[in-house]
Structure 1
Amino acid sequence: MLEHGGNLRDAAQRFGRHDWLDLSTGINPHHYPAPTVAAHAWHRLPEADPALAAAAAAYYGAPLMLPVAGTQAAIQALPRLRAPSRVVVAAPSYAEHAHHWSGHGHTLRQVDYAALDGAVDDCDVLVVCNPNNPTGATVAPQQLLRWADALAARGGWLVVDEAFGDTATSASICAQTGRPGLIVLRSVGKFFGLAGIRLGFVAAQPALLEQLADLLGPWTISGPAQQVALAALNDQPWQDAMRARLCAEGARLQQLLAGHGIHASGSALFQWWPEPDAERFWQHMAERGIWVRLFRHAARGIRLGLPPDEAGWRRLDHALSEWKPIQS
């Protein structure tokens, strides 16, 4: 199993403390206030509620969407729906994509974002996170659609992971997923702060969604998760207010880091920078009870998310003030 953020049990075991400020995931710390769930949701088998898919299509602006048990379920299943193919995964990006496309007979290459345009003609499947996780970089929708058309012309796919797209709505291509070979993944966990209900959506043409649904099987989304998500997706006043709040807090985080000499980039939900002394920075923060995401390999650097409250902001500020980078 690959390493991910949010692994606080590992943090507690390694560092012997339990007062963690968890900034390791990029999940909204101000989660949607889940309503009381109807009693039958705990008792009945969770048959799919058409209202959930309809609410998701309206919220994300897609023609059709399939609910899945987190985008992770789709990431694991999509490679099983194609014959062995030449696959390019943009790098660096969410590691689960490359991990799963490397199996099932596929031939995998990881290509830097700057070189993707030259790689499209030499692959059958292109996988891009937009905005990227962990760097926050974005690819223009027009570019993505050109790639989608080129791939579809020879039976290929463009898979776009928009898990962090809720605060960058102008970059989304969900509305274009009626096109052949275009697949977009969306997550309820990040923007709504509801990672625990394990819910995401896939937008694509109907035939592909039917294949994916058949592969995933029945009862993929729990009854309580469906009810909570339906309320969240239909609550536009909360969405509008939260989007503005997160954009302001994202800018505040970038400014805080800059004030300590760290020039970061990212999204409204996280910041990332290629830290040359990443291991020591991660250790420094962990010793102060602040859990950040360390990237050790291709994207060597640090990603951290938003503090949940003013006490968290002060704690982060203080820990950053004690960080002494190695002078070059």
Structure 2
Amino acid sequence: MSVSAPGSDLAAEVFLRHGGRLAAAKRAFPDAPTPWLDLSTGINPRPWKGARATPADLARLPDPEAVAALEAAAAGAFGVSSERVAAVPGAEAGLRALPRLLDARSVAMVSPTYGGHAEAWRLAGAKIEAISAGQIAATDAEAVVVVNPNNPDGARHESLAAGDRWLVVDESFGETAPELSVASQAGGRLVVLRSFGKFYGLAGVRLGFVIAEPDLTARVRAQFGDWPVAAEAIIAGTAAYADVTWRERTIRRLARDAARLDAMLTAAGFEILGGTSLFRLTSAPDAKARFTRLAEQGVLTRPFPDRPTWLRFGLPKTWSRLAAALEAL
């Protein structure tokens, strides 16, 4: 899709599918000050700093034993046995593969939620039904998808159980609410997705996990082959999941930052609708115009196609930059 002149409807439309389109923002708003402050995704702006792949690591194919060590490190963090954990190149890749692997012809999704799930199941030819959390037990669908905590509104779902249908729980933001996680219970008809890059602030390494019964994780591994993830993901992920001190400290820091962001957004006239400690969902009657005015100042947020009053904000790396942009609204 081409991007038209700054401030036009089309300039905003290109950002409605998902966040992170910084190159498109630069084309749409060429006069915006740089560097851009990208708040369109829920990625930790203060990433984990630790082991990285060396030139030698990058010069050879990843070793299957190293992948197994990564899965074991992740399993320890998730509280589950390693045979139930399969590494994939991002949670997105996992959710795209599951409709084919589960072979369900109908799916119910607790909505509104992340649009990638509906896209994946639609491509697999499944019948899709949007439901509320209270309708999970009543649906006749062969599979149910729940994002917990939910993206974009941060809704929290307690006491999830698969029953006699597939239950896919996307815990991409699970580190922000560890008390909600059902990863340790994965197995049978319960499948859990986890993301590495969001909480650890390293989205570019493309690392995620499918947590399920061993037969299903074996099929996931077969789907992605002998080298499912790159050397950078293996090295960083293995070390980061072992860093319990950093994880616990970051959970506390993100909670403080989310409260600080709420205060700034409320003062700027936004209503806080919800979110997680990595992003906040807001509402304003003139949200579309505010998206454009913020973008003109080099601040990219996340609008929504079916909710013209919504804007989502990730945590800023530079608080003063966001404060100045909000004051100029």
- TM-score above 0.5: yes
Residue 32 (structure 1) aligned with residue 40 (structure 2)? no
| Residue 323 (structure 2) pairs with residue 306 (structure 1) | no
How many residues end up aligned between the 2 structures?
308
C-alpha change, 1:173 and 1:315, in structure 2 (3 Å) is same
Cα distance in 1 for partners of 2:286, 2:135 equals 28
Q: Report if aligned partners of 2:221, 2:228 keep a CA contact under 8 Å in 1.
A: no
Pairs within 5 Å for 1:187-226: 187-226=195-234
One-letter identity of the residue aligned with 1:295: F
1:315 and 2:313 equivalent?
A: no
Which one of 261, 266, 286 corresponds to residue 258 of structure 1? 266
> What is residue 117 of structure 1 aligned with on the other side?
136
The answer to whether 1:76 aligns with 2:96 is yes
Secondary structure of 1:185's partner? strand
Judge which range, 191-200 or 33-42, deviates more: 33-42
The match for 1:15 among 24, 29, 41 is 29
Corresponding residue for 2:5? none
Q: Which runs of 5+ in 2 are unaligned?
A: 2-15
Q: 1:96 to 1:77 in 2, by over 3 A?
A: same
Q: Partners in 2 of 1:42 and 1:114 — Cα distance? A: 44
Preserved CA contact (<8 Å) 1:77 1:216: no
Question: Structure 2: how far apart are the matches of 1:245 and 1:215?
Answer: 37
Q: Confirm or deny: 8 A CA contact 2:100 2:124 kept in the other structure.
A: yes
8 Å Cα contact 1:98/1:110 also seen in 2: no
Q: Give the whole-Å Cα distance in 1 for the aligned partners of 2:220 and 2:248.
A: 32
Shift of 1:299: 7.8
Show CA shifts across 1:269-307 (max 9, x none): 110024333211211110111100111225851111111
CA separation of 1:99 and 1:276: change in aligned 2, threshold 3 A: farther
RMSD: 1.8
CA distance, structure 1, for counterparts of residue 232 and residue 48 of structure 2: 14
Counterpart Cα distance in 2 of 1:277 and 1:189: 32
Bigger shift: residues 291-300 or 217-226: 291-300
Please list every run of at least 4 consecutive aligned residues from structure 1 whose deviation after the TM superposition is greater than 6 angstroms: none
Deviations 1:76-109 (A, max 9, x none): 1111113351111222111110011012221112
For residues 208 and 53 of structure 2, the distance between their equivalents in structure 1, rounded to whole angstroms, comes to 19
Q: Does structure 2 retain, via aligned residues, the 8 Å contact 1:84–1:105?
A: no
| TM-score (normalizing by structure 1) | 0.89
Q: CA deviation at 1:39?
A: 4.0
Query: Equivalent residue of 2:200, what SS?
Result: coil
Partners of 1:87 and 1:139 in 2: how far apart? Answer: 18
Percent identical residues: 40
Q: Superposition pairs for residues 52-131 of structure 1, below 5 Å?
A: 52-63=70-81, 64-111=84-131, 113-117=132-136, 120-131=138-149
